[in-house]
Structures are given as C-alpha cells and as structure tokens.
C-alpha cells in the first residue's frame, strides 16, 4: 500500500504557484486577489475558509474574507457579489457552502460572474467542463485530478467507480475521469443512494472515489485488491478523548481497506489539502486570464 499524500503533493503545487505569483509581481503584473464569503458560524466552514485564506497568504495571493451573520438577507448577499463582480481588483469569488436555509444556493451560484467563479460551480463552468473546454473545474475533483497526476497513477482503460452524485464532487469527478487526456480515459460508473448492488459495482473498480459523506461506508469486502482508493469524506464525529471534542472520519474504513490497496488517500491529509491547492490554481488562472 502506498499513500497518496495530499499534504505533500499540495505543498509542491502551492510552492509552484508561489513562484508563479512572485514571477508575475517581478514583471509588474497584477497580484491575484481572492474574495471569500463566509456566512454564519458553522465550525467546519470557518475552518475551511480560514485554511483557504492562509494558503493564499503563503502563496502571495491577496485574500479578503467577508464574514456575515447567519441572518444576512439573500438580497444583501447578492448585492455584495455584484459589487465584487464589478471590482476589477477581485479575480476570484467564493461563497462557502452550505448556506443558511433562507438563502437559495442556486441564486448565489448564478450571481457569481463565471470568469471569477474559482469554485467552478456556475452552470457556465459546469457546462464547459461537460464539453471538455477550458473553464474553472470545481476544486475537489480538480484536486483529485492533480493528486493522481502527481503520483502518475495510470487511469486509461481503468474501471472507475464514483460514489455520490453531487454537483460539487461526484458528477464533475465522473466527467473528468471519463474525458480523453491525462488522468482520464476511464470507464466510469457513477453510483448514488438509489444504486442497486453498490458493493458489486465497487468490487469491480480499479479506481474508487468515495464522496457520499458517510463515515467508514466503504468496507474491505467491497474492494478489489490493488485498487486506487480516493476518500473525499471528512465528517466530524464526536470523540471526547480528542482536544477538539471530535475526530475527522473519511468515507472509507481506512484501517481495514488500506492493506488491500495499491494506493489510498488518508483522512485528513489526502483530498483536503489538494482542494486548497486547486482553489489557488483557479485563482491564479482567473488573474492570468485578465493579462493583456
Ligand atoms: N463546501 C464544501 N466544499 C466546498 C467548496 O469546494 N467550495 C465552497 N465554496 N464551499 C464548499
């Protein structure tokens, strides 16, 4: 078993970005600038946004964190997004999900100018991805693609099973793995809550991407020996022995599955850090697109 170490690979990518940003500045070009919007006091969301802002700072990317109370009216958020859309200094905009119930996620995603949509959630970017054209790829599947690339995992002709059909992870991941080109050319099965014989599908897979958000769901008896296993899950599970009061659990039963695998991501330290590296890549790309 070998580790797909997202911390290490993510650091290498972030260092590349740092050098590219430094090069831009030495050429008198614009410094990339990300605006991150956080609403309310969800502990996990605050941690993720904090990590994104810190990673920007380390890579030389400017970031502005806008933190609002959970009773922020939807129209106020939409107006804020509009002003960021029109602000030439802002290259990328992200609104951390999930949102409070009274704010429509789709209205917010549609409001972000596609050329600043570094999360790749806008239908324009999702449509470009579907067609294999350049655009912003959502950070989690993009990060997984970069991780497979970093470790030179052969994907062509392989059976890939993606578990979970979210717009953020599962669906775009299935498109990336099936498209022609590097880290693609897989035969992809996209499984979900209504899939019959899910274990049977997973057992046939050379590459498994688990993105359903159920701790320890993927068990050893579902895994084909030698598989590559990517664990996107990162659920907070109460654990009074931990200082924080919780531990982070992946969707894969790592203890029992890892001995069977050729490659596996740990949780934490697998997909999470790659998501951040991918966001930084998208933010730099958004800035580069404005160069004349
Ligand atoms: N919530 C969970 N994942 C993500 C992500 O990649 N981007 C944003 N904005 N919110 C999220």
Query: Are the C-beta atoms of residues 167 and 126 closer than 8 Å to each other?
Result: yes
Name residues contacting ligand 1 (CB within 6 A): 94-97, 119, 139-140, 168, 275
pTM of the predicted model as reported, rounded to 2 decimal places: 0.97
pLDDT at position 254, please? 98
Q: Which ligand 1 atom is nearest residue 94's CA?
A: 9
181 CB neighbour count, 10 Å cutoff: 10
Residue 92, class by beta-carbon neighbours within 10 Å (0-12 exposed, 13-18 middle, 19+ buried)?
Answer: buried
> Which domains are delineated in the chain?
30-113 (3.40.50.10860), 139-270 (3.40.50.720)
Please, which pLDDT band fits residue 292 given cuts at 50, 70 and 90?
A: confident
Which residues on adjacent β-strands are paired with residue 92? Answer: 34
Element (H, E) at 35: strand 33-39
The CA 28 to ligand 1 mean position distance, Å, reads 32
Instruction: Enumerate long-range contacts of 220-224, CB under 8 Å, 24 or more apart.
Output: 220/253, 220/256, 220/257, 220/259, 220/260, 223/257, 223/260, 223/261
What does the pLDDT average to over 1-22? 98
Q: How far apart are CA 269 and CA 236, in angstroms?
A: 15
Q: How far apart are CA 37 and CA 45, in angstroms?
A: 10
pLDDT tens-digit map of 156-215? 999 999 999 999 999 999 999 999 999 999 999 999 999 999 999 999 999 999 999 999
Q: Which ligand 1 atom is nearest residue 119's CA?
A: 7
**């260092």: which residue's tokens?**
15
pLDDT at position 13, please? 98
Instruction: Read off the tokens for 187.
Output: 């035969």
């Amino acid at each position: 078993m070998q580790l797909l170490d997202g911390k290490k690979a993510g650091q290498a990518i972030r260092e590349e970005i740092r050098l590219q940003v430094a090069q831009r500045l030495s050429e008198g070009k614009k410094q990339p600038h990300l605006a991150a919007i956080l609403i309310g006091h969800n502990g996990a969301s605050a941690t993720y946004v904090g990590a994104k802002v810190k990673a920007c700072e380390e890579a030389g990317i400017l970031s502005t964190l806008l933190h609002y109370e959970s009773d922020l009216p939807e129209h106020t958020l939409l107006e804020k997004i509009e002003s960021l859309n029109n602000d030439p200094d802002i290259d990328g905009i992200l609104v951390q999900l999930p949102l409070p119930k009274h704010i429509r996620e789709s209205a917010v995603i549609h409001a972000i100018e596609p050329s600043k949509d570094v999360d790749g959630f806008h239908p324009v970017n999702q449509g470009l991805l579907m067609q294999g054209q350049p655009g912003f790829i959502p950070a989690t599947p993009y990060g997984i693609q970069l991780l497979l690339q970093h470790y030179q995992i052969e994907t062509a002709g392989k059976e890939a099973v993606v578990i979970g059909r979210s717009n953020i992870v599962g669906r775009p991941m299935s498109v990336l793995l099936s498209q022609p080109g590097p880290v693609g050319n897989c035969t992809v099965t996209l499984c979900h809550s209504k899939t019959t014989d899910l274990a049977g599908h997973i057992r046939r897979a050379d590459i498994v991407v688990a993105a359903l958000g159920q701790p320890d769901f993927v068990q050893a008896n579902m895994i084909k020996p030698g598989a590559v296993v990517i664990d996107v899950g990162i659920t907070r599970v109460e654990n009074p022995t931990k200082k924080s009061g919780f531990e982070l659990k992946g969707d894969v039963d790592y203890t029992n599955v890892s001995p069977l695998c050729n490659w596996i991501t740990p949780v934490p330290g697998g997909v999470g850090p790659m998501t951040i590296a991918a966001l930084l890549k998208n933010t730099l790309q958004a800035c580069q697109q404005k160069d004349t």
